[in-house]
Amino acid sequence: MNVKKKQEGLHLKKNARLFGALGLVFLILFSFLLANGKISAKENERVDQSAETQIKNQGTLNNLTSDISLQKSTELLQIQPRFPVVNLTWATVDNKGAYTYVSPAIVPKGWSLAFVSNTSSEAYSIGQALPSYSTLQSRLTAMLNQTYGVGKWKWTTFENGYSYFTWFTRDTLSGNAKVMWNGIPAVAPEYYQGLEFTAMTFTMAAVYQKSNPLSIKLKKTDESGAALANAHFQFQSKNSQGRWAAFNVLNESNDYVTGSDGTLTLPQAVLNAVEALGNNGENQAFRFVETKAPDGYMTPDGSSQFITAEKVLSKDSDGEQLFTLTNKKIPKIPMTIKLRKTGEGGAALAGAHFQFQTKRSNGNWDGFEVPGVTNDYVSGSNGEFTLPQSVLDAVSQYGGDGNNQSFRFVETQAPSGYQTPNGSNQFITAEKVITSNTQGEQLFTLTNKRAIVQSSYTLVTNFTPNQTFNVGTSQPSNATIKSWYDNQVRIYQNGQPLELLSPNDYDITLGNTWNSSTAGNFLYTVRITYKGSRYQLETNPINKTAHINFVQPTADMKLTLNKTDASTGAALSGAKFVIQGLGTDGNWKNWAAEYTTNGSGQIVITDQTLLNLLLSNQGSSVNTKYRFREITAPNGYEQPPAFPGSGSESTTSAAAFATEFKITKNQATTVSLTNKKLAVSPLKIVLNKTGDGGKPLAGATFQLESFTGQNTWKHFTAGGEPSQWKTDSQGQITLNDSYINAIKYWGSQGNDRAFRFREIEAPNGYKQPTSQDDPAFITSSKVLTETSTGTQIYTLSNQLIPSPTLTLSASPISQTYPQGTAQPSSAELKTWVTNVYLNEGSTSSPVASSNYSVTLVSPTTVNTSASAAGTTKNYQVRVQTTSGGKTYTTNVTVPVTITGPAVYQLTGLPNGTKTFVQGSTPTLTQTELNSWVRGVTLTVVSGGGAIPGPPISVRYNVSYLSPSKLDTSTVGNFTYTVKITATYEGITYTKNVQVPVSITPRIEPISLEVIVRNQNGEAMPFQTGAKPFELLAKGGSWSNSSVVNAINPSVVTFPQNTISTQNFYQLKQVQTVNEDYNTWKNGQPTAEFGVFAQGVYYNGTYYTINRDQVITGEGLTLNYNSSTKKLTIYVVNQELPTGDFIWDVKDNLDFGTATVPVQTELQMNRSDPNWGIQVDDSRRDNLRQRWAITATVTKDFTQDKSILSNVLMFKQTSASSTQQMIKGQAVELYNSGPNPAKFNNMITWANDAGFFLKITPEQSRTINNGGYNAEILFSLNDTL
């Protein structure tokens, strides 16, 4: 459609009123296109088969005008491709088929023009198939690959992602060219029937070649920098939401593998995709993620160490883009080789001898001999042995040479009582391949059989079963018959019992044909056969007899026990019972097997044989009555007394855990029993640690371990809790609730039911753990689950490290003291000795000065009196230290010399500058005067061979010396000489010290007023009660000193004592006079100012007091009146700019094309969804008010005499209702609302809102071929 601008926008200046009654209009021509009675809503796909046409394209191909001959002047065809970004200018074919190409106006960055286009001319007959697009593209691709090389050039791409082919056909008689746009027909056009023609292919293919083509490479190395081959990577890109995903390209596997040089390079197809998609906002960042590591290196787990740094790549990227990544080797686990020897039952066998062998390249096995090691290894008490390190080193060294890769053990001597090795396979372990890369434990196993014992052995049983069955019962299984003889079959040696056989050692079968058709007692033969090989029996099998009693079946009887909770009545499963009968001796005896209550809390017995047996013995001399006796209660319930097993118990035993019953023939019997829940104490886990003598031992470090499903102990931790603990002063560790809950949870999972404590570090002086498996530092384990309760106590004891035999030694240092010196302190006595060592044999360890003491032994005091002056005497001192809980001492003789009397000197220093205010009359106390000095001490300087000693602190007084008193009349810096006097041991000492004194001016209060003017010098009044200024005082740092009220409308007065001499200030305007003016310096503080004795100070300069005014460059004037003590500051406020209002309507509002007539209502949306109205409102806040934009249709859509009325629609938002644009009626498009803010934006609408067309089927039947135009008036209105 054609869009024209009739009038420009309005520019608002300061103080301008908005719009008034005049309004402001834009006139815009709307249009849409009709061709052959069709409106095409699909851009770039037009068809014209009725006339000679010419293509004219600007930006996108969306206008087609009919009836223009190709024989007219040549028009330009402009194409704007999407990638690379380049404008191509084409010349159209003239009536003779001639064509011209023009080079692109812009060549993409990093590319050079390599090829423009290709043409070919071929003759086709009517109905002959024309070449397809792919055929033409393949031809050109082959030529370009041959000319420039594969991957060295690129197609330009357009709106549909492909280059366009345009066919030109020429009438061979008239020579007129015909154009068919976009899409190649399958056969020659029918409207040339009877004529031959030439089809001219016109291929738009701008091809560019990069001067430095993009390549993407990854290099993979290990920690030493060596190249790593066989590392697998996936190439990924990041979308606009920051999510990473695989960057997959058609026909390319996104699994790239590094070569022998540790590198990989992406194929050209992937590079093309990176350049094409790298700038679309979705795939700008790229990276590699390792998916599989080379052998021997850490496996990728998705962490950052397996991801390269990302790079931003696009169509402008060129040159090699190198990604790098480094891998870490998997730590090698030391190899061990172990053999485990067991017997037939799995028991460990000690004393078995083995030879270690290797297989040579010829396939022969030889002993693997290592110098210094005997190739005869013997299993220990645990049935195991481990090869020494020297053999392991030899295996690692020679295991990869091709000759010694397989290893095995051969048994050479069996333990006593086991079969002797004979070289057969049962005495040789399975072989293992072991090389220098083998890690971890290599376990060989072998099982031995007992030796066959030669003797006279017989199979014996003295038991005769007596079994009862109902008539008609099927023959019992052999397993049932075998159960009759449990614990009854033995091996006899020479007529004496030797071994009770287990059921696995023999088989039992019935020797008679089973016949249960007749009631009665019958004798059956039972055959018992020994299956083992340890004994050679005289007779095997043997025949025995069994009594089988067949009885007539009676009506079914049933015996039921109901077990419930005593409080809730809930059914209790898992309770175990036996049936007991009361004998004539008054004791209960077991009658039947063990029973367990089911999920319903019941025991149900329907075995009629058992029930008949109970019935037949009930009330007899064997059993007077029966009962169910509980032997194990469910978890969490009171448990019955200990069960005697096969023994008997009294009538009162376990009465509370038993219920009596009586069997009635052919009837069901039901009894009940209840249980009480235990008072459950919460689970508590405590570790008690003791030392020698069983005393609690503090400071031992432990960790908790659990036994896993892999039959190993592992460190057990609770998330966020300490993983190790130290025993407290009571030698205890008590686990907190987090650990208790974790133990209960994991204990219920089946893998972590056993727990123990392992000592990590013992306290000082105690033996330390030597390995993780040292049993001396591991508690016994306990099985703990979710049902565990009560206090679970773990214990462990430590042993002290044996105390070494130590001696203490030290060397003396001669001492000298002046006559009258005080007794040496403990610290001073330490200086009497040196070289203090603890000695153990030839080893000596120095003892730090802080770890030993020195005391006088003989004499116990040092004689420094006048009688001892000039003499030397030996003194005995005792040196003492403690190590490992034991005390060590040694005596040392030290010579001490006493010198003559000492001479002292008094010292002292001034204690900083003393400051006083001019004119003040302070009366200083002696203490205050004494504070003028510091560091007053006496020090030894000479006398009788005296040596300097530590300074002596003394009491002292300070007095004026020069001047003789304090004078504050004059301002300035002065030096006072004062005298320090001190007395020590009857002698007076003095010292003169010079002290700096400063007399400062007296601080006086000054009044301050601030007067505000505008740029014309006019006073600027404030509103009553305003607080427009802050005064910031410098007192170490700037602070808010005061905020004042405006008393005079244009004069701001601060209180008298707000400012004073001897200080700096800053002034800051925090409130405007009115909205038309800004604050002074836009609210920033002034430079520093102040009033001093020297004059007025501003911004680093002092001005004398008698000067009337001080004018600065900040739009600021200062005036100080020394007589009235008033400082006046004049400031200037500038008027704010008024701002502008500018608006403009975007050109080219178009609704595209469509095909008509239609059967249902046709909606045509804007071709440009971003069409809108630009508004820039920068007016000052007090000038800005509500505004609105309206639109009025002034002319309906028209083509010649064809008019379409009321087809233009408007929606404010996607959710709002549709407004029909009726000619002459204004529709509001935008309203700023009250108090609008500044605005600089394009007013636009969503794709499914704003302007659009609605054409009814009736209207569509009146539309002519061609474009329709309409006029609309846009108005900017003041809505006040």
Instruction: State pLDDT tens for residues 780-827.
Output: 988 888 878 888 999 999 888 776 678 889 999 999 888 888 899 989
**Who has greater pLDDT, 415 or 404?**
415
Q: What's the rounded Cα separation, in Å, for the pair 254 and 1215?
A: 45
Q: What is the pLDDT of residues 838-861, one digit of tens each?
A: 888 788 889 998 999 999 999 989
**Who has greater pLDDT, 243 or 803?**
243
Vertex 248, ends 245 and 254: CA angle to 5°? 95
Report yes or no: 236 and 286 within 8 Å, Cβ to Cβ.
yes
Which of the listed CATH numbers 2.60.40.10, 3.40.640.10, 2.40.160.10, 3.40.470.10 matches domain 558-665?
A: 2.60.40.10
How does residue 251 score in pLDDT terms, banded at 50, 70 and 90?
confident
Task: Give the model's pLDDT for residue 977.
Answer: 94
Q: Which fold is adopted by the domain 1005-1124?
A: Immunoglobulin-like (2.60.40)
1115's tokens: 């739009």
Q: Strand 668-675's sheet: what is its strand order?
A: 602-605, 558-565, 668-675
Vertex 764, ends 761 and 768: CA angle to 5°? 40
**Who has greater pLDDT, 394 or 1057?**
394
Task: Report whether pLDDT(571) > 90.
Answer: yes
Task: Give the model's pLDDT for residue 88.
Answer: 30
Please state, as a whole number, how many other Cβ atoms lie within 10 Å of the Cβ of residue 939: 14
Task: Report whether pLDDT(566) > 80.
Answer: yes
Q: What is the pLDDT of residues 601-645, one digit of tens each?
A: 999 998 888 888 888 888 776 677 889 999 899 988 888 888 877
The reply to whether CATH 2.60.40 applies to domain 1138-1278 is yes
Segment 551-566 shows an average pLDDT of 86
Determine which of 164-168, 412-416, 762-766, 879-883 has the lowest per-residue pLDDT on average.
164-168
Task: Write the CA distances from 418 to 305, 344, 350, 450, 733, integer angstroms.
Answer: 57, 10, 11, 4, 50
Tell me the one-letter amino acid at 1258. E
In the chain, helix, strand, coil percent, each to 5? 10, 45, 45
Task: Report whether pLDDT(742) > 90.
Answer: no
Q: What is the pLDDT of residues 865-923, one digit of tens each?
A: 888 888 899 999 999 999 888 899 999 999 998 887 767 889 999 999 998 887 788 88
pTM of the complete model = 0.29
The reply to whether CATH 2.60.40 applies to domain 453-551 is yes
The reply to whether CATH 2.60.40 applies to domain 807-901 is yes
Task: Give the model's pLDDT for residue 6.
Answer: 32
Please state, as a whole number, how many other Cβ atoms lie within 10 Å of the Cβ of residue 404: 20
Report yes or no: 847 and 830 within 8 Å, Cβ to Cβ.
no
Quote the mean pLDDT of the chain.
77
Domains 453-551 and 1138-1278 in one fold: yes
How does residue 1245 score in pLDDT terms, banded at 50, 70 and 90?
very high
Q: Which of 321-325, 437-441, 488-492, 513-517 has the highest mean pLDDT?
A: 321-325
- Write the class of the CATH domain 684-797: mainly beta
Task: Give the model's pLDDT for residue 621.
Answer: 65
Task: Write the CA distances from 452 to 191, 536, 1257, 1267, integer angstroms.
Answer: 111, 8, 109, 115
Determine which of 179-183, 459-463, 697-701, 957-961 has the lowest per-residue pLDDT on average.
179-183
Task: Give the model's pLDDT for residue 102.
Answer: 32
CB-based contacts of 768: which residues, under 8 Å, 6+ apart? Answer: 761, 762
Determine which of 407-421, 576-590, 864-878, 1068-1082 has the lowest per-residue pLDDT on average.
1068-1082
HEC sequence for 735-782: CCHHHHHHHHHHHCCCCCCEEEEEEEECCCCECCCCCCCCHHHECCCE
The reply to whether CATH 2.60.40 applies to domain 903-1000 is yes
User: Which of 915, 1061, 940 lies closest to 1002, judged by CA?
Assistant: 1061
Task: Report whether pLDDT(163) > 60.
Answer: no
How does residue 733 score in pLDDT terms, banded at 50, 70 and 90?
very high
HEC sequence for 388-435: CHHHHHHHHHHCCCCCCCEEEEEEEECCCCECCCCCCHHHECCCEECC
7's tokens: 């009038």
CA atoms within 13 A on the CB side of 436: 6
Tell me the one-letter amino acid at 899. T
Task: Report whether pLDDT(58) > 50.
Answer: no
Task: Give the model's pLDDT for residue 130.
Answer: 55
Task: Report whether pLDDT(265) > 90.
Answer: yes
Task: Report whether pLDDT(573) > 60.
Answer: yes
**Who has greater pLDDT, 888 or 1024?**
888
Q: What's the rounded Cα separation, in Å, for the pair 581 and 1236?
A: 103
Q: What is the pLDDT of residues 963-1011, one digit of tens each?
A: 989 998 888 899 999 999 999 878 899 999 999 999 887 777 777 888 8
Task: Write the CA distances from 555 to 54, 120, 516, 549, 552, integer angstroms.
Answer: 111, 108, 19, 18, 10
1004's tokens: 């006086």
Segment 193-202 shows an average pLDDT of 35
Task: Report whether pLDDT(167) > 50.
Answer: no
Task: Write the CA distances from 1226 to 1145, 1147, 1191, 1250, integer angstroms.
Answer: 17, 20, 5, 15
Q: Please give the DSSP secondary-structure letter assigned to residue 1104.
A: -
1252 sits in which H/E element:
strand 1250-1255
Task: Write the CA distances from 907 to 841, 926, 935, 1255, integer angstroms.
Answer: 53, 19, 7, 112
Task: Give the model's pLDDT for residue 450.
Answer: 77
φ/ψ region of 97 (left if φ > 0, alpha if ψ in -120 to 50, else beta) reads left
Task: Give the model's pLDDT for residue 401.
Answer: 60
How does residue 741 score in pLDDT terms, banded at 50, 70 and 90?
confident
Task: Give the model's pLDDT for residue 1252.
Answer: 92
HEC sequence for 840-880: ECCEEEECCHHHEEEEEEECCCCCCCHHHCCCEEEEEEEEE
Task: Examine residue 963 and say whether the peptide bond preceding it is cis (omega within 30 degrees of 0).
Answer: yes
Task: Give the model's pLDDT for residue 628.
Answer: 92
3-state secondary structure of 272: helix
Task: Give the model's pLDDT for residue 210.
Answer: 63
Task: Give the model's pLDDT for residue 345.
Answer: 79
Superfamily in which the 336-439 domain is placed by CATH: Immunoglobulins (2.60.40.10)
Q: What is the pLDDT of residues 1068-1101, one digit of tens each?
A: 888 787 777 888 777 788 777 787 766 787 777 7
Domain boundaries, the chain: 42-210, 336-439, 453-551, 558-665, 684-797, 807-901, 903-1000, 1005-1124, 1138-1278
Cross-strand bridge partners of residue 1147: none
CA atoms within 13 A on the CB side of 138: 5
Q: What's the rounded Cα separation, in Å, for the pair 526 and 463?
A: 11
Determine which of 403-412, 928-937, 1164-1173 has the lowest per-residue pLDDT on average.
403-412
Q: What's the rounded Cα separation, in Å, for the pair 349 and 448?
A: 8
What are the φ and ψ backbone dihedral angles of 1141, each rounded to 5 degrees?
Answer: -125, 115
